Chains A and B, each alone.
Chain A
């Protein structure tokens, strides 16, 4: 899919980001708030579609070995990838468009909450914190929204044990 040209130009010229065709630009956590504000105020992306976090466990780097037929694997640390998706609604000058960007958050660090820019991000960021464990700094009320308040761990992480005990059923 192709992204709207004005948003792609803004990302490339002002923030120096490389646009990925499939998933949008990869934004650093420092730039996220400035980019979100620019997208909303200048380019009219006022409709917040979703935020989805995906957890990726740590991958150890493996060097290529032609004798054994092994391809090289690039090592990545344990992190979550936070995907944002936005939409602007049609007006007389412009048709409707979607735009997406993503933030890589290493485990133990946090990403700025965008609920100050889009109010609709509030509960969705709580859901991502609840299920995946991504910490959104500056969120007004970051607590669990779906699981019970005393639930241990974040169930959609890859390292979450399926037989984690919870009183009194397991």
Chain B
């Protein structure tokens, strides 16, 4: 493989792994580095797009973000793919099919869990038919959180995967990614039939009518309808 010393404008990512021989039209590298470079820059993607994250994946594959320029070309069959992108909610009925497609992919292979549904099930987690995260039944290399993640977040996920492949090929230890913890607080709304705190209803009503403006409407003098007076419990709060 020749390297033209005179043409400095021609740059190729492979050159950084090459040791240029002085005075000779030759360059040397190791087979590991070549293989690592090849597998990092030709990650064929199997889009396991089951819901809205799939739309964002399509946006990432289209002209503005252009996944193809980093060599991640989407293919329609698992036999030709290296990376599976699980983009969407996986139901209990779909999960065995996803596992089967994953098993069809040839080694070496990697998986990206894209979006909070694929990561943990998110707010569909407690529904009877939804799997709480794809890492319950298959390995996941990179988590891309978001609902849905932007195309640049997905590109960042591919870059993290490239780093991971590079380190693995170089024989370094790679710390497995842990499932990202959601910052979402589940509201402790009492179920129907239990005692509800009237203050909770009032706060919810005000938040709804104020449309998240942080009290701006109230400061401007807009009055809100008051809820019906609650019967006072005997023995407690006898101030009225």
Report how far A166 CA is from B129 CA in the complex, Å.
9
Q: Which of B129, B131, B137 contacts A147 (CB 8 A)?
A: B129
Could you tell me if B128 and A169 are in contact, using CB atoms closer than 8 angstroms? no
A155 to B128, CA, bound (A): 7
* A147 and B93 contacting across the interface, CB-CB below 8 Å: yes
Provide the bound-state CA to CA distance between A64 and B10, in Å: 92
The answer on a CB contact under 8 Å between B92 and A148 is yes
A90 at the interface (CB under 8 A from B): no
Known: A148-B92, A148-B93. A169 touches B136 (CB 8 A): yes
Report the contact-size class of chain B (Cβ under 8 Å from the partner). Answer: under 10
Interface membership of A162, Cβ < 8 A: yes
Q: How far is the CB of A108 from chain B (nearest CB, A)?
A: 23
A160 vs B136: C-alpha distance when bound (angstroms):
25
Best-buried of B93, B136, B137 by chain A (most CB within 10 Å): B93
Q: Is the CB of A162 within 8 A of B92?
A: no
CB atoms of A166 and B92 under 8 A apart: yes
A5 within 8 A of B: no
Q: State whether A162 and B131 are in contact (beta carbons under 8 Å apart), knowing that A147-B93, A148-B92, A169-B136 are contacts in the complex.
A: no
Asked if B47 CB lies within 8 Å of chain A CBs, one says no
How many whole Å from B125's CB to the nearest CB in chain A? 10
The answer to whether B129 and A155 touch across the interface, beta carbons within 8 angstroms, is: yes
Query: Of A147, A155, A162, which is within 8 A of B126 by CB?
Result: A162
The reply on B145 being an interface residue by CB < 8 A is no
The reply on A95 being an interface residue by CB < 8 A is no
Flag if B128 contacts A162 (CB, 8 Å): yes
The complex places the Cα of A168 from the Cα of B136 at a distance, in Å, of 9
- Beyond the given A155-B129, A162-B128, please list 11 additional residue pairs across the A-B interface where CB-CB is below 8 A: A147-B92, A147-B93, A148-B92, A148-B93, A155-B128, A162-B126, A166-B128, A168-B136, A169-B131, A169-B132, A169-B136
Binding site for A on B (CB under 8 A): 92-93, 126, 128-129, 131-132, 136-137
15 residue pairs bridging A and B, Cβ less than 8 Å apart: A146-B93, A147-B93, A147-B129, A148-B92, A148-B93, A155-B128, A155-B129, A160-B128, A162-B126, A164-B128, A166-B92, A166-B128, A169-B92, A169-B131, A169-B136
Residues of A within 8 A of B (CB): 146-148, 155, 160, 162, 164, 166, 168-169
